[in-house]
Structure 1
Amino acid sequence: MRRPKPDDLREWCYPFIYETRLTCDYEILTDELCCHIGVVLSMLPEEFADIRADLEQLQPLIYNLNGSVRGKHGIFEEDIEWLKARYTYYQQASEGRVTGFVLPRGPAPVPQLHLCRCIGKKIVRMLVRLEQEGRKFDETLPRFANVLANFFFVLTVAIKHRQGVTEVPYISINY
């Protein structure tokens, strides 16, 4: 049963909140990611001006990602190329620091960026589910979301490298 729009709009937090399709869940995930980036920005030391600028540019792109499933398409090839270039910039700056799995820890905002990375993966998975549900969207969305999750990881490595924090390897007993 679909709930009706309440008479008192204070009892209605989002226009699609009672929808049963996964589109609303996807939009909430992308919104959550954008909020987490706001937390990271509030904790980012002043000496990380390049990271601050990239995250500030990324927030609107994540809201473009948000609206691209229900509304007009908003993630383009140039957005993916920009994000890949920024990924490469941070990866090259900390080349060789990570050669396997590492534990997601470190000084703030590293743990928060690891949470962003996890939400990025959830967004990719939600896009898989939306496609399975029959939703049509441009192929740039899952591509951008995958690069996004990887970008957050490389930021954690770059921040720890700049701060002289050692990565803690994780050796799996499972694989």
Structure 2
Amino acid sequence: MHCFPDICYKSKVCDLTDEIDILSSFAGQAFGQCENKIMKEDLLKILNLTYRLMGKLRDNCDFVKEDKLMLKEIKNRYDKKGKKIRKHLFILPQGGLLAGNLHICRALSKKISRMFSKAKSEIAFEACEIEESLNMFSDIFYNMALCINYENNVEEIPVVLIPKRK
């Protein structure tokens, strides 16, 4: 218990930081699988950022506006690429191992954003920068997965939507 004194807390913030840790683990796995130099550097920046976010949530460590700006820069880079290659509005999360891990990161990011909304009442500091940063993760990971599949000539598989009955 010495390493993780908060492990016994009945706290939404503790649960939130646990989920961010899981996200970090999958992002780290994606980092290890990635051969695209720029994306690999971006994943490393995101990994460092997730640990600063956890530190900020647990004990008010440093997380600064520059972190959010850096994440916004990464998001803009992949938004531009994603818009160029995206063919369908809704796609199935598929592809190779790297794309699969990035899709898991996307899904976990959405869960973390929802968890943060529920945990906000327990946070004793202004958490606007963190909330905005958490909301960017899902888009970044989604577009990274699109880019990896595009680089590997993996075709998007659109979700087949069933029309509503009248």
Counterpart of 2:73, as a letter, is: A
Task: Tell me the matched-pair count.
Answer: 162
Per the alignment, in what secondary structure is the counterpart of residue 160 of structure 2?
coil
What per-residue deviation string (whole Å, max 9, x for no partner) do you get for residues 93-131 of structure 1?
Answer: 341424401000011201111111111112111111112
**5 Å matches for 1:82-161?**
82-94=70-82, 95-131=84-120, 133-137=121-125, 138-161=127-150
CA shift for structure 1 position 49: 0.6
Take 1:77 and 1:99, find their aligned partners in 2: how far apart are those partners?
Answer: 34
Structure number having the greater helix percentage: 2
Q: Aligned match of 1:38 in 7, 15, 28?
A: 28
CA shift for structure 1 position 73: 4.8
User: 1:69·1:136 contact (CA, 8 Å) conserved in 2?
Assistant: no
TM-score by length of 2: 0.87
Question: 1:23 and 1:91, CA in 2 relative to 1: closer, same or farther beyond 3 A?
Answer: closer
Structure 1, unmatched stretches of 5+, are 1-8
Regions of 4+ moved over 3 Å: none
Counterpart in the other structure of 2:64:
76
Counterpart in the other structure of 2:48:
60
User: 1:26·1:123 contact (CA, 8 Å) conserved in 2?
Assistant: yes
Question: 1:96 and 1:37, CA in 2 relative to 1: closer, same or farther beyond 3 A?
Answer: closer
Per the alignment, in what secondary structure is the counterpart of residue 57 of structure 2?
coil
Question: 1:99 and 1:75, CA in 2 relative to 1: closer, same or farther beyond 3 A?
Answer: farther
Counterpart in the other structure of 1:23:
13
Counterpart in the other structure of 1:4:
none
TM-score by length of 1: 0.83
Take 1:163 and 1:154, find their aligned partners in 2: how far apart are those partners?
Answer: 14
Question: Percent identity over the alignment?
Answer: 27
What per-residue deviation string (whole Å, max 9, x for no partner) do you get for residues 9-60 of structure 1?
Answer: 5xx772111111112111111111111111112222x3x0111111111111
Question: 1:76 and 1:171, CA in 2 relative to 1: closer, same or farther beyond 3 A?
Answer: farther
Aligned Cα root-mean-square deviation (Å):
2.0
Structure 2, unmatched stretches of 5+, are none
